[in-house]
Structure formats: structure tokens, C-alpha cells
């Protein structure tokens, strides 16, 4: 877009093919047909198609195949459970994908339903959806801007753009193109709010071509899979391919030995059911769901199940400043006052009100709070000094004055930009005495201004005078002092940032505020100390992607950013391999929230942000993110635990059957016994491992950057599987020679007890998991019933065992604990998170 600030009104109108009397109705209809309605367009997919697509994912296909196999071998219960898991996962996925449409609906609701437009030289109300480029629109205080506009004429027009640009304070717009310093002073975005004044502008963009429309386009893009989804998918594919290959090999070997083909086929199929980790998604879902419930109790609402784990893996949090790190309310942080009369100026030269709710410009609200804390109430002072006139603030004057009458005297109360107000002052009041303003005094006051400005405070000067004349109100004023304002940081954020740094998580602040303001807040919070680590949106735009990616890891603060730049920052960090969490609350944050590994919205934010995000913080508390990170890390560690438990059992079962086939031994387990081992592996024991309490120092470790299975972790799994196979085959071989009638029962029970002891290899060192104890006792009891109950003996092909048999079984299966003893000696157990 050309620099509109360099044009006059007529040139701007010519550019957008309009005129001051507006478009004709006929021309408006033509443009409506050409550009379409001023609405956000949704890319809809039919609900049925969305739902069916959930079953096309690779893990879901594996589950369906496993269910069919289980049904074929007669395990109706297992088949039914697997089908239920498939259906539940499909429903959850469908709901998650539908959220983009919900976000779109929220965006549409934000658009003003009506607009005041000039057509054929007359003002009229029309539905905002019928606005077209070139329309002349009138906006007033309290309005929601119906389309992107370029201001042609205005008076005291102040716009709240926080939901679009992230700017923490309302932005003053130029009263006409000639007085604009840059194009930004003239542009008003759709869905921003008019805080004060009025304006007339020409529509420069509607619908999907507006700034909000571009955001809507981005949030409808297909979501990328989370890191955990990618890991689980990769793991499932690898294990499934390996397991199925082994099953085919077992089938071939047993067939070559002359065993009945049907029996051999059932054994291979049963092994496939046990070997393919179809229980992994079920245990994963349960673990994440329980973590989600725990987080909800602590004000972190998870909208996407897998986001629970992802936050625990993140190593960068990109956070907005306003309303997230700060309170989103201007307050006087510092003052330099010479007289008590300064509080009268703060109160009376003010159009804001504070009752049950503060209404008005945030700067004026801050001044009212400041004076009220000192005992000055607006309603009381207005009775003593009734206002008779106001000289409003505008961009050229940079000051505001109100005139009040008390008795026969008039009182002028003025506030505004320090350099402007000081020039209007001839005196200053100190300790109740009015003195002439000398050059030395001015130098001292300018030093105070500079000192406050260096702290990124918004400095405002206060002055007054008492007169009997009804003219020259803003001349020969008496200077009263300065106030410095800023949106203060949340108290709890300081500790939260310290914990994040301790946990190896970088904090990156992204804001629409001025560079100095951003630096001051970031420095106060401990995000940075080096000013060179700040990048402005303008500087970012001048960089190529390659240049930006070379420095993105060093930048801790971004100032004066636009929505598309936030998205670019997230993309650059992800390209560098970071798992990025993005916090935000405005419409402008939606693209970055969607693109980030996990989007974290504030509960007080816009519905668009919340519907786009993966997690919502009900209390807007940055400290809640730290709790979520801890819970996410705990969940990831528990996922590793039950994956280790399940895979070591998988490998043990495969090696036991494969080795027996190679050694020309009868198969140590019957098909139904293999399925029982599968139930134990996928059932209560694995689920209980997903409930292990967090390790005490889990927040003192760096985030995990590796896969679920690191090389050391995989070595342990293989080692455990080999021990299970060797122990099972040795006791099986011994019983085949000495007590052949018990051989299968002993081998089967030994392998089950290997799993029970292996739980202790996989659990954390923290006590307190009562569910694991219950699961262990229940598994032991069920195995005893299978061995001794006559009905179960017929189903499982078992025989009763003697005490000596049990002693032998326990001694052999407990050898799996050697793994944990060796692991303790080799490296500190506290490094579990980083392995």
C-alpha cells in the first residue's frame, strides 16, 4: 500500500475510487457483486467427512486390524474394547478439528452488525455485511469498526487496537491526512473499538481482505501434529512392522516343523495381537485425560488432549506482554509533584469515571485511581468546582484543559505532553507558594522528564491557574509536576519466569508496544538485560528469512509487532527445532496460537483466541503455565514408563516364541495365554504407571528434546525383553524334561510374573501410587485363579502348581530387577527425564 500519509483527502478518495458524498447505491451494488459481502468466509468440510477421516490415520488402521484379528481368534472382549478405543479416539479427533469452525463463528460475531454510511450524499444505517471498498463510513465513541478504514476527517478519535495489534494503550488517530506522520495514523482496523471521539473514513478493505480476514485465513489452515503424535505414530509404525515380520517368520518356522496350519496360524495371530502395541493409544489417552482433569482444577483448561504433554516438552514460551505478563491496566508508577493541587488536576481534567466499573481512557482512569488513593474523589471535587468548558486533547495540541468556576473565579486545570505544557507555564507552585519559573528550574524539570522516560514511563505534566478572565485559558499556567504511568507487571510473573529459566525454558516477549516500554518491562521481569536483544517489527520486516533465522535464538523481546510477524517468529523458532508455546488473548494472536506447538490463551481474552488455542488459563495467571509445564513433564515421563513396560513385554513375548521355534521346542504359550499377557500389559498395570507422581526435581531439568525412546532407554527395554525370554525358556526347558505336564503353565506364569516385577523397573522412585499397588495385587490374584480354578484351567490350558513351583517361578522372574540395580549404579536415577 502506498504511503497514504503523503496524500491529501482527494488523492485518497481517488485511489479508492470514491468521493466525499459517498458511493451511489448502483455503484455499491456493483462493488458488492465484485468484492462479495463484508463477511469472513469459512472453508467448511461436512461433519460426516470430518468424522470418517479420523479412521484413516495409520494408528487407527492398526487398531481396527487388531480388533478384527482378536475377533477372529475368539477374543470378543478384547475386540470390543479395541473398537471402543477406536471410536472414542475418532470422536475426540472430530471435536478437535471442529474447533477451527467455532473460531470462525466467534470472529463473525465480533463484526459490527450495522454501520453508518454516506451514500448519495446522505447518512444511513446499513448492515455491515453490505459495506464495500470505497464506502464512506462514520464511526463514533463506543462503536466497533465495521471494516478497515482510512481516516479522512476526525476529532479526538482514539482507537483500542489491542485485540488486533497488541498495543496496550488506545491509539490516537490523525484528524486528517495532512496531519498524519505515517500511514498507521490513518488506518483503523475492523473489530477495533472506538474509545473516544468520532471519525469519517473510506473503506479500504472488507471481509477476508481485512487484517482480521487475513487472521481468519490462517486459523483455518490444517493443524500440524503435535510432537507426541509424531513420536507415537513413528513408534507404532516401526513396532508394527517389526512385530508382523516376526509373526510371519514364526508361522513359517512352525509350519515347516509340521505343526497343524490352523494351530500355527492362531499362534501367529495371537502373537500379532500381543506384539502390535494397540493398547498404547488407550493408555496414552487415559494418562492424558487424568492429567487434563488435574490441570482443570488448577485453572488450566485443556482443549486438546495431546497438548497436556506438549507443554511439558516445550523449551520456548512466546508470550504477549499486555494482560499476560502485565495487568493490562495503566497505573501511575512514579510521580514528581510540587503541590497538592496536582491531584485536583488529575481528578477534574478527566473524562473517565470509576464506580463499579472504570469507564474511559486508560490514562485518565490511571490518574483517577492515583488521586483517589490520596483521598481525592471526583464527585466531591466536581461539586466544589463545576466544569463549564473543555478544550479537548488533539494530536496537534497534545494537551487538554478544563475550565471550572468557583465563586467569582475560574480555575483552569491542564494536563498533557511535558514539553508542551512546560512551554505554557510561567510559574510553578512549591509548598503552597507560587514562584516564577526560571531557566534553572526548567532544566531540573527536563532532567526529571528524561529520567522517567528512560524507564519507559508515559510522562504527563500537570498545571493550573486561577483567573477572573474568560480568555487566554492556556497561557501563563502554574506548573505542578509530573506523573509517570505504565501497565505494571503481575506480581506472580516474577517467580514464574525464574522457574521457567531454572527449567531450561526461554521466555520471549512479543508486544505491539514501543521498544523502550518493552525493554523496561522485560528488564524488570528478568527476561533480558541486554538492549541489543530487542527487535522491532520494522527491523524484522527488513530481514530475509535466512537473516532472521540466524539471530532468532538470541532475540528475547519483540516490540511494535504485527500479527503476521508473531506468526513468523513462531515459524522461525520451530524451524530451529524448538517446541514453542505461545500465549495470547487477542484476535491478533490466533495465527500464532494455532501454529505454535501449543497455544495458550488467557481466560479474559477474546473467544477467537480461546477457540484457536490448545489450552486456556482461566485465571490469566502466567504462574499457571509453570504448573502446566510441571504436569506436562510428569505426563511425558509416565508415558515413557508405560511404553517401556509394554515394549519390554512385547520383545520378551516375541523372543520367547521365536526362540522356541528356532530351538525346535513346543510353543511355550497357547494363543489364549498370549492374549492374557496382552491384557495384563495393556491393562491396569500400564495404566497405573501413567499415574506415577512427579519426581521432586522435575522442574530443575532441561526440557526433553529426544524421542520417546532414546538409545539408553531402548537398550534397557531390549535388555529386559531378553531377560524375560531367557528366564522363561530356561524354566520351560527344565519343566519339559522333568514335569512336562506343568511346563506350559509354569512358563506362562513365569512370564506373567516377569511383567509384575518389571513394573518396579519402570516406576519412579517417588512413593504414593496406590493404584499401582492395587493393580499388582489384582494381577496376582487373577493369575492364581487362572492356575487353580477348574473352569479357567479349561479355557487357558493350565494345571495346578505346587509351592515349590511358585518358589521357582518367583526366583526366576525376579531376576528382571537386576536391570534396576545396574541402572542405579550406572547413572543417577534423577536423570530419567533427560535420558
Question: Which positions are catalytic?
Answer: 320
Instruction: Give the Å distances, CA to CA, from 281 to 625, 779, 814.
Output: 26, 21, 29
- Decide: 187 and 152 in contact? Cβ < 8 Å: no
H helix intervals, 361-514 = 362-373, 378-384, 418-424, 439-453, 491-502
End-to-end CA separation in angstroms for the chain: 52
Which residues have CB under 8 Å from 433's CB, separation 6+? none
Report long-range pairs for 544-550 (Cβ below 8 Å, ≥24 apart).
545/572, 548/572, 549/575, 549/576
Cβ atoms within 10 A of the Cβ of 752, count? Answer: 24
In angstroms and rounded to an integer, the radius of gyration of the C-alpha atoms of the chain is: 35
The rounded Cα 356 to chain-centroid distance in angstroms is 32
> Which region holds residue 669: left if phi is over 0, alpha if psi is between -120 and 50, else beta?
beta
Q: CA-CA distance, 204 to 136, in Å (whole number)?
A: 10
- Decide: 115 and 125 in contact? Cβ < 8 Å: yes
Phi first, then psi: give them for residue 623, nearest 5 degrees.
Answer: -65, -25
H helix intervals, 279-399 = 280-296, 307-313, 341-348, 362-373, 378-384
Q: CA-CA distance, 609 to 36, in Å (whole number)?
A: 26
Q: Are strands 615-617 and 316-320 parallel, antiparallel or unpaired?
A: unpaired
**What number of residues does the chain have?**
835
Which residues have CB under 8 Å from 637's CB, separation 6+? 692, 694, 695, 698, 764, 832, 833
Q: Is 406 exposed, middle or buried (0-12, 13-18, 19+ CB in 10 A)?
A: exposed
Using DSSP's 3-state secondary structure scheme, residue 220 falls into coil
H helix intervals, 576-621 = 590-595, 607-612
Q: CA-CA distance, 179 to 375, in Å (whole number)?
A: 40
Q: CA-CA distance, 520 to 525, in Å (whole number)?
A: 9
Q: Are strands 477-486 and 425-430 parallel, antiparallel or unpaired?
A: parallel
Phi first, then psi: give them for residue 613, nearest 5 degrees.
Answer: -75, 165
Amino acid at each position: 500500500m502506498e504511503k497514504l500519509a503523503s496524500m491529501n483527502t482527494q488523492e485518497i478518495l481517488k485511489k479508492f475510487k470514491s468521493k466525499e458524498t459517498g458511493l451511489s447505491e448502483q455503484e455499491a451494488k456493483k462493488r458488492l457483486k465484485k468484492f462479495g459481502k463484508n463477511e469472513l468466509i469459512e472453508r467448511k468440510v461436512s461433519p460426516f467427512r470430518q468424522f470418517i477421516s479420523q479412521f484413516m490415520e495409520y494408528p487407527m488402521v492398526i487398531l481396527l486390524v487388531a480388533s478384527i484379528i482378536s475377533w477372529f481368534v475368539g477374543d470378543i472382549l478384547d475386540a470390543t474394547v479395541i473398537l471402543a478405543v477406536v471410536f472414542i479416539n475418532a470422536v475426540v479427533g472430530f471435536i478437535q478439528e471442529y474447533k477451527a469452525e467455532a473460531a470462525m463463528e466467534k470472529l463473525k460475531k465480533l463484526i459490527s452488525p450495522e454501520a453508518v454510511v454516506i451514500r448519495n450524499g446522505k447518512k444511513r444505517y446499513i448492515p455491515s455485511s453490505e459495506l464495500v471498498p470505497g464506502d464512506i463510513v462514520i464511526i463514533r465513541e463506543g462503536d466497533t469498526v465495521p471494516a478497515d478504514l482510512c481516516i479522512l476527517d476526525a476529532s479526538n478519535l482514539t482507537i483500542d487496537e489491542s485485540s488486533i495489534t497488541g498495543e496496550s494503550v488506545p491509539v490516537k488517530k490523525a484528524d486528517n491526512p495532512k496531519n498524519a506522520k505515517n500511514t498507521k495514523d490513518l488506518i483503523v482496523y475492523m473489530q477495533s473499538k472506538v474509545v473516544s471521539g468520532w471519525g469519517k473514513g473510506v473503506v479500504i478493505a472488507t471481509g477476508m481482505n481485512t487484517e482480521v480476514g487475513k487472521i481468519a485465513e490462517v486459523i483455518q489452515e490444517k493443524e500440524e501434529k503435535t510432537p507426541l503424535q509424531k513420536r507415537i505414530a513413528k513408534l507404532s509404525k516401526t513396532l508394527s512392522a517389526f512385530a508382523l515380520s516376526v509373526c510371519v517368520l514364526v508361522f513359517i518356522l512352525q509350519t515347516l516343523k509340521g505343526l497343524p496350519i490352523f494351530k500355527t496360524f492362531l499362534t501367529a495371530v495371537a502373537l500379532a495381537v500381543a506384539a502390535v502395541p494397540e493398547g498404547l493409544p488407550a493408555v496414552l489417552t487415559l494418562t492424558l485425560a487424568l492429567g487434563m482433569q488435574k490441570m482443570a482444577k488448577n485453572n488450566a483448561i485443556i482443549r486438546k488432549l495431546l497438548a497436556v504433554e506438549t507443554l511439558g516438552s516445550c523449551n520456548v514460551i512466546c508470550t504477549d506482554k499486555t494482560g499476560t505478563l502485565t495487568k493490562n491496566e495503566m497505573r501511575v508508577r512514579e510521580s514528581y509533584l510540587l503541590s497538592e493541587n496536582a491531584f485536583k488536576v488529575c481528578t477534574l481534567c478527566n473524562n473517565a469515571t470509576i464506580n463499579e466499573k472504570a469507564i474511559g481512557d486508560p490514562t485518565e482512569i490511571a490518574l483517577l485511581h492515583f488521586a483517589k488513593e490520596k483521598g481525592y474523589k471526583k464527585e466531591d471535587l466536581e461539586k466544589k468546582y463545576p466544569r463549564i468548558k473543555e478544550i479537548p486533547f488533539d494530536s496537534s495540541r497534545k494537551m487538554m484543559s478544563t475550565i471550572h468556576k468557583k465563586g467569582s473565579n475560574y480555575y483552569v486545570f491542564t494536563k498533557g505532553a511535558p514539553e508542551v505544557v512546560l512551554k505554557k507555564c510561567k510559574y510553578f507552585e512549591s509548598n503552597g507558594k507560587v514562584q516564577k519559573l526560571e531557566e534553572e528550574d526548567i532544566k531540573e524539570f527536563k532532567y526529571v522528564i528524561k529520567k522517567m522516560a528512560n524507564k519507559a514511563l508515559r510522562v504527563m505534566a500537570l498545571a493550573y491557574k486561577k483567573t477572573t478572565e474568560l480568555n487566554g485559558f492556556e497561557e501563563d499556567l502554574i506548573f505542578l509536576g509530573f506523573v509517570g504511568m505504565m501497565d505494571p507487571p503481575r506480581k506472580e510473573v516474577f517467580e514464574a519466569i525464574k522457574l521457567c529459566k531454572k527449567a531450561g525454558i526461554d521466555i520471549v516477549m512479543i508486544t505491539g508496544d514501543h521498544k523502550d516500554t518493552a525493554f523496561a518491562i522485560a528488564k524488570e521481569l528478568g527476561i533480558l538485560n541486554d538492549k541489543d536483544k530487542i527487535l522491532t517489527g520494522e527491523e524484522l520486516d527488513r530481514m530475509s528469512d535466512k537473516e532472521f533465522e540466524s539471530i532468532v535464538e538470541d532475540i528475547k523481546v519483540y516490540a511494535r509487532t504485527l500479527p503476521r510477524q508473531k506468526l513468523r517468529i513462531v515459524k522461525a523458532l520451530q524451524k530451529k527445532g524448538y517446541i514453542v508455546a505461545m500465549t495470547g488473548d487477542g484476535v491478533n494472536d490466533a495465527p500464532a496460537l494455532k501454529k505454535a506447538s501449543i497455544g495458550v490463551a488467557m481466560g479474559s481474552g477474546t473467544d477467537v483466541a480461546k477457540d484457536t488455542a490448545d489450552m486456556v488459563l482461566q485465571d490469566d495467571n502466567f504462574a499457571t503455565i509453570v504448573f502446566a509445564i510441571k504436569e506436562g513433564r510428569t505426563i511425558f515421563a509416565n508415558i515413557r514408563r508405560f511404553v517401556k513396560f509394554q515394549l519390554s513385554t512385547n520383545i520378551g513375548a516375541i523372543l520367547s516364541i521365536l526362540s522356541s521355534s528356532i530351538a525346535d521346542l513346543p510353543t511355550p504359550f497357547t494363543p489364549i495365554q498370549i492374549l492374557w499377557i496382552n491384557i495384563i500389559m495393556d491393562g491396569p498395570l500400564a495404566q497405573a504407571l501413567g499415574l506415577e507422581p512427579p519426581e521432586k526435581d522435575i522442574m530443575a531439568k532441561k526440557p526433553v528434546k529426544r524421542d520417546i525412546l532414546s538409545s539408553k532407554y531402548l537398550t534397557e527395554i531390549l535388555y529386559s525383553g531378553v531377560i524375560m525370554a531367557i528366564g522363561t525358556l530356561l524354566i520351560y526347558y527344565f519343566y519339559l524334561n522333568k514335569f512336562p505336564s506343568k511346563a506350559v503353565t509354569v512358563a506362562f506364569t513365569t512370564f506373567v510374573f516377569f511383567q509384575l516385577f518389571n513394573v518396579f523397573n519402570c516406576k519412579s522412585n517417588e512413593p504414593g501410587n496406590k493404584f499401582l499397588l492395587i493393580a499388582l495385587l489384582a494381577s496376582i490374584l487373577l493369575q492364581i485363579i487362572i492356575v487353580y480354578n477348574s473352569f479357567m484351567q479349561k479355557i487357558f490350558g493350565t494345571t495346578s502348581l505346587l509351592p515349590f513351583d511358585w518358589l521357582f517361578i518367583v526366583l526366576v522372574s525376579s531376576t528382571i530387577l537386576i536391570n534396576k540395580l545396574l541402572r542405579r549404579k550406572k547413572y543417577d536415577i534423577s536423570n530419567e527425564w533427560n535420558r
